[in-house]
Amino acid sequence: MTALLIWAVALTILVIIGIVWVLDLQSRLRQLQDRYKNACAVGGDDANLGIAVDNLAARLAETNARTERLVARTEQVDAALTRTLQGVGLVRFRAFEDTGGDQSFALALTDGEGNGAVISALYGRDATRVYAKPVKGWLSSKALGAEEEQALAEARDNIVQQR
């Protein structure tokens, strides 16, 4: 009889352990279901996590494609900007001793690669003379005066400062 009592107690303990184990598994299952519902809620109105992941993957692919298009467009704009007016240098000076003030000037207008022109105006009491000299790669095929060289150097320095 004592052996029968020991078996009964042992089986009762195993049944209690089994019940606790089942309750623990149910609790874990409920937690997983809650996580699944929350994951689906993050994906929007989709009832299926797989659909939510597919939607996110499609949005990511669309974003990557747009980023590639923007990078290509930025490279085009950068290439075009090197050919736009970027360097400006202005030097005012007195060309003739008999005139007052710094009425004469040398104006350098260049792109990012040093191509453009230097425009000079020499002011005198009776007349003003205007000259334009081409510039290519920061050099001119025409002889430049000191003020014109200074204006060209200012234009180059302005471009360097912008970068």
Over residues 67-110, the pLDDT tens digits come to 999 999 999 998 888 788 999 999 999 888 777 778 899 999 99
The domain ranges of the chain are 38-81, 87-162
Specify the range with the lowest mean pLDDT, choosing from 10-19, 46-55, 56-65, 80-89: 46-55
Classify each residue of 101-133 as buried b or exposed e, where b means 16 or more C-beta atoms within 10 Å of its C-beta. eebbbbbbbbbbebbbebbbebbeeeeeeeeeb
Specify the range with the lowest mean pLDDT, choosing from 26-35, 42-51, 68-77, 123-132: 42-51
Q: What distance in Å separates the CA atoms of residue 119 and residue 23, rounded to the nearest whole number?
A: 92
Classify each residue of 69-99 as buried b or exposed e, where b means 16 or more C-beta atoms within 10 Å of its C-beta. eeeeeeeeeeeeeeeeebbebebebebeeee
* 132 has a pLDDT exceeding 90: yes
What's the token pair of residue 60? 């990511």
Count other C-beta atoms under 10 Å from residue 34's C-beta.
10
* 136 has a pLDDT exceeding 70: yes
* 10 has a pLDDT exceeding 90: no
- When the pLDDT of each residue in the chain is averaged and rounded to a whole number, the result is 87
pLDDT for res 72: 95
Count other C-beta atoms under 10 Å from residue 54's C-beta.
13
* 8 has a pLDDT exceeding 60: yes
* Continuous H helices in the chain: 2-42, 49-81, 146-162
